[in-house]
Amino acid sequence: MDTSRLTQKNATEWVLEPHGTMRVPGVLFADEQLIREMDDQVLDQVAGVASLPGIVTAAFTMPDAHWGYGFPIGGVAAFDAHKGGVVSAGGVGFDISCGVRTALTKMHVDEIRPKLEKLANLLLARIPAGVGSTGTLKLNAKELDDMLTGGAAWAVQRGFGTARDLARIENHGCIAEAEPAQVSQNAKSRQFDEMGTLGSGNHYLELQEIVEIYDEKIAAAYGLRVGEVAVSLHCGSRGLGHQVATDFSKRMVAAAARHGIALPDRELACAPIHSDEGRAYLGAMSAAINCALANRQILLELVRRTWHEVFRGVDMELLYDVSHNTCKQEEVAVDGRPQRLWVHRKGATRAFGPGHPELPPELRAVGQPVLIGGTMGTASYILAGTTESATHAFSSACHGAGRAMSRTQALKRWQGRAVMDDLAHRGIEIRTSSYRGIAEEAPGAYKDVDRVVAVTQAAGLSRQVAKLIPLACVKG
């Protein structure tokens, strides 16, 4: 990236001053190495986001940011509906409510390692993964609408998990504003047999060893101990969410023109939040969020049942489930005053700090778990939201390592079988239905997650709590 366009505010914050049609500045959180490694298009996209009507404070990007559709991935922006603020399908993304769910086994790695290969094989057999994968749960039209309304709570009612899981899910597992009627029949048709499926791309199911604790107090509150094993799921709203984004990206181009919005980029197609189109998208997007929450709830229960086949009587407690790729109305502080704004997070994680009323009582004193996925060959992290993040970037943090190269570039550089063999030599069991997918997701195709997380902490966006390394990974 050409840093001459930026003003460096401090070691982890860079500012793109307003110019042209920009209404607010752009703020990028990164150290010098990360900022120089970012795509040049990221700055153009930040400037485009900062030009949208009703944007408040700044257009932010997280340390893992890279070029995306409309908004950069790692982009955060909040809009005031009472000042013409807009909602953009490109500002949420195509994998609506893609997110991470982490559960704790309370078992030491030494207990699990002798049966690791068996576990990996069983998980591949029990967890549908890959492009076009289908699950054993088949829904009719009414059941699908009930799922889109009920989210994870619907899944619990169907026997997938327990009610105590819901307290550890963002929004208690259900977005009340969901409107299934705003979801097209085409989108719904893609989801009738995809519930309880992992999907492909960067989605995964991973067994992880907790190898380092950075904050003993928060780790104790979260139930994290060195040497114990966690299970993390990364997936989203599958075909339904992608189709919702596709449908509304097209509709919003026409909506923007009707409402007199000059788009700096067609991919930033949007509609006023209080318009018919804006309300329709928010209803459909909320339904897609519920779809993702229900999907992850079903998947966790499938993992639990598989786990019980190998380790009978072992419970698996949900630590937390948090989404990226959302737009939600939240109370945020602007110039010291609370306001209700619509916060877009695309490839960025909500990171509420200590004392936030939406957190479970047992976590409120230490802040929200922020779950950061790395790669199948490096590390993942558990962070905690901070009070400072509320004033820095609307209580937002990075969501992962962030791609350093495109999937096409990765395919030219790596072969899937070779990547799997290399990881096997390091004791990491990889299971997949697609060697191509493994090559696309090679660890070297991503940024240095350790650096991304270090910058996230240094910038005050979240606090490091624990580091986890992969033991086994199921990929689509």
The average pLDDT across 197-207 equals 93
What Cα–Cα distance (Å) separates residue 386 from each residue in 217, 324, 395? 14, 17, 8
The average pLDDT across 83-88 equals 98
What Cα–Cα distance (Å) separates residue 312 from each residue in 267, 299, 315, 316, 471? 50, 19, 9, 11, 20
Strand, helix or coil for residue 105: strand
Number of H helices, E strands in the chain: 15, 19
Catalytic residue positions? 399
The average pLDDT across 362-372 equals 97
What Cα–Cα distance (Å) separates residue 179 from each residue in 38, 124, 258, 286, 458? 37, 34, 24, 7, 40
Predicted pLDDT of residue 134: 81
Q: What is the DSSP annotation of 178-217?
A: --GGGS-HHHHHTTTTTTT---STT-EEEEEEEEEES-HH
Residues contacting 301, CB < 8 A, separation 6+: 155, 159, 160, 161
Of 371, 7, 443, which is closest to residue 170 (Cα–Cα)?
A: 371
Q: Judging by DSSP bridges, how do beta strands 73-79 and 337-346 pair with one another?
A: antiparallel
Predicted pLDDT of residue 133: 79
Reported as a pLDDT band with limits 50, 70 and 90, residue 71 is very high
Predicted pLDDT of residue 332: 92
pTM recorded for the entire structure? 0.96
- What's the CA gap between 281 and 153, in Å, rounded? 22
Q: Are 46 and 58 in contact (CB under 8 A)?
A: no
The average pLDDT across 4-19 equals 97
Predicted pLDDT of residue 227: 98
Please measure the distance between the N-terminal and C-terminal CA atoms of the chain and give it in whole angstroms: 32
Residue 458: burial class (beta carbons within 10 Å; 0-12, 13-18, 19+): middle
What Cα–Cα distance (Å) separates residue 284 from each residue in 181, 326, 442? 8, 12, 34
Cα within 13 Å of Cα(378), Cβ side: 22
Cβ burial 272-310 (10 Å sphere, 16+ → b, else e): bbebebbbbbbbbbbbbbbbbbbbbbbbbbbbbebbeee
Predicted pLDDT of residue 136: 81
The pLDDT tens digits of the residues spanning 120-165 come to 999 999 998 877 778 888 999 999 999 999 999 999 999 999 999 9
The average pLDDT across 108-115 equals 97
The average pLDDT across 183-200 equals 95
Predicted pLDDT of residue 131: 78
Q: Are 70 and 265 in contact (CB under 8 A)?
A: yes
pLDDT at 433 over 90: no
Q: Could you list the beta-strand ranges (E) of 52-132.
A: 55-66, 73-79, 86-88, 99-108
Predicted pLDDT of residue 335: 87
The average pLDDT across 180-189 equals 98
Count of positions (residues) in the chain: 476
Q: Are 261 and 160 in contact (CB under 8 A)?
A: no
Predicted pLDDT of residue 8: 97
Report the chain's mean pLDDT, rounded to a whole number. 96
Predicted pLDDT of residue 128: 85
The average pLDDT across 358-368 equals 97
CB atoms within 10 A of CB 40: 10
The pLDDT tens digits of the residues spanning 418-432 come to 999 999 999 999 999
Residue 244 parent element (H or E): helix 238-258
To 10 degrees, what angle do helices 276-310 and 238-258 make? 170
- What's the CA gap between 284 and 272, in Å, rounded? 15
Q: Are 203 and 263 in contact (CB under 8 A)?
A: no
- What's the CA gap between 442 and 428, in Å, rounded? 13
The average pLDDT across 247-272 equals 97
The pLDDT tens digits of the residues spanning 381-414 come to 999 999 999 999 999 999 999 999 999 999 999 9
Identify residue 467 by its one-letter amino acid code: K
Residues contacting 465, CB < 8 A, separation 6+: 213, 214, 215, 218, 219, 222, 224, 369, 381, 382, 383, 384
The pLDDT tens digits of the residues spanning 317-344 come to 999 999 999 999 999 989 889 999 999 9
- Report percent pLDDT > 70 for the chain: 100
Predicted pLDDT of residue 333: 85
Which domains are present in the chain? 3-83+97-475 (3.90.1860.10)
